Chain A
Amino acid sequence: DTVLTQSPALAVSPGERVSISCRASEGVNSYMHWYQQKPGQQPKLLIYKASNLASGVPARFSGSGSGTDFTLTIDPVEADDTATYFCQQSWNDPYTFGAGTKLELK
């Protein structure tokens, strides 16, 4: 299975820029997607196919990358962005998710 590696946690101050990385153990073309999950809620799609903003998602969120290295960027970070962020690939079977990056605000 394709393993997706994310850093476990980040802490940033409101107004700053943060980049969350996701590295795949094998190529996934551009089929990397990002989700935001707040405590007690279901995940919410933010970015699909590496760099496409999902409907209704603020333009503060952006995605980049291809192949094995991908980044989710939030600029500027707001207090409401406190959450866990997951990457997911759909190029290789089975679909797999990263373990998540917990974003905390200072």
Chain B
Amino acid sequence: QVQLKESGPGLVQPSQTLSLTCTVSGFSLTSYNVHWVRQPPGKGLEWMGRMRYNGDTSYNSALKSRLSISRDTSKNQVFLKMNSLQTDDTGTYYCTRDPYYYSGDLNWFAYWGQGTLVTVSS
């Protein structure tokens, strides 16, 4: 059974760095792409970036200067780090997975974690 679960601090101070973990089960990170998507409260969704099955990463250009995605395949975990947080970074952060293994970039989000709410506030 495919599962993704996000974890991290619920509260981050402005200008600080956000660190989130996506722990997956039921599939291998060396076979599937995993993405991060976020959603401000009451608003729409924003694709942040992806960790490809081969270890390559790509980022939304709007966030690229602040964002880093990495992984630990032995622990089945994908990590997100984003620095210089501001109040408009408040929202729910999701990790998601592509539908097919060894897939390219023209994909959709077949599986989602439950999300983790991050509040940026002093």
- Residues 74-89 of A at the B interface (beta carbon under 8 Å): 86, 88
Task: Point out the residues of chain A lying under 8 angstroms from B107, CB to CB.
Answer: 90
Q: How far is the CA of A93 from the CA of B59 in the complex (A)?
A: 9
A91–B106 CB distance below 8 A = yes
The SS class assigned to the A binding surface is loop
Task: Point out the residues of chain A lying under 8 angstroms from B108, CB to CB.
Answer: 33, 45, 48-49, 88, 90
B113–A97 CB distance below 8 A = no
Task: Point out the residues of chain B lying under 8 angstroms from A35, CB to CB.
Answer: 109
Check B101 for interface membership: any CB of A closer than 8 A.
Answer: no
Task: Point out the residues of chain B lying under 8 angstroms from A42, CB to CB.
Answer: 94, 112-115
B44–A99 CB distance below 8 A = yes
The SS class assigned to the B binding surface is loop
Q: How far is the CA of A31 from the CA of B43 in the complex (A)?
A: 23
Check B99 for interface membership: any CB of A closer than 8 A.
Answer: yes
Given known contacts A42-B94, A43-B112, A45-B110, A86 and B44 CB-to-CB distance under 8 angstroms: yes
Which among A49, A91, A95 has the highest number of chain B CB atoms within 10 Å?
Answer: A95
Task: Point out the residues of chain B lying under 8 angstroms from A44, CB to CB.
Answer: 112
B45–A43 CB distance below 8 A = yes
Which among B44, B94, B107 has the highest number of chain A CB atoms within 10 Å?
Answer: B44
Q: How far is the CA of A91 from the CA of B105 in the complex (A)?
A: 8
* Interface, chain A (partner B; CB < 8 A): 1, 31, 33, 35, 42-45, 48-49, 54, 86, 88, 90-91, 93-100
* Interface, chain B (partner A; CB < 8 A): 43-47, 58, 60-62, 94, 99, 105-110, 112-115
